[in-house]
Amino acid sequence: MGNVNKTMMEVTRKNQEFMLETQRVQVRVGSRMCLDLCTTLPCFPNLRWVTFVIHIKSITSKLERQIHMQNEMREKMMSMQIARSRELLYWFGSFYVVAAIGMITGFRRTRKPGTLVPLLPLSFILAYQADLAYGSKLNRIKMEAENILMFERDLVSVPMGVPTPSTIDEARERQEENKRLNKVHEVFI
């Protein structure tokens, strides 16, 4: 179980690093290419337009590939979560059977109904896990998520709005400035 979690965390970290790097490259290349196209081809307006259209198509295809890749990663992560819940169900089901046998044996010996009390919450947990692993629980979760996105959008909105490339660059510059100032501060301390 620990290896699966480590692997999932590593895959997620690598995916995030890749997405950040592609965003940086797109922002740099996209803004420079548009400026370069407008300044380097002033005497051939039709050629400039064709080059610009080709560039836009290239960016569009890159974005489509990125969206497809992110969807593939999402599907892989969801399949890992489903597999994890099924594995947990196997372990918990085994525990439930052993505990139930022990409780029933204890009840037969003592005739005290209190020995069967833990069986009730364990039954609910087992039913929930079975529904999650093999039932329609995930479909119900998806439907509820769609309802939240349609009717309660404010619950999932990002505080202070969606980040833009300029706000990301400003935050990065602030971090670099803070690092530089901290180094200077450490020298004087």
pLDDT (tens digit, 9 = 90+) per residue, 129-158? Answer: 999 999 999 999 999 999 998 999 888 887
What does DSSP assign to residue 136?
A: S
> Hey, what long-range contacts does 79-83 have (CB within 8 A, 24 or more apart)?
80/4, 80/8, 82/133, 82/138
CB 84 within 8 A of CB 4: yes
The model's pTM: 0.56
Burial (Cβ within 10 Å: 0-12, 13-18, ≥19) of residue 133: buried
Give ∠ CA 64-68-69 in degrees, rounded to 5.
115
pLDDT in tens, 34-88: 444 445 445 545 566 667 777 777 888 888 888 888 889 988 998 999 999 999 9
Q: What are phi and psi of 177, to 5 degrees?
A: -65, -45
Tell me which residue of 77, 85, 78 sits closest to 128, measured CA to CA: 85
Contact 150, 156 (CB under 8 A): no
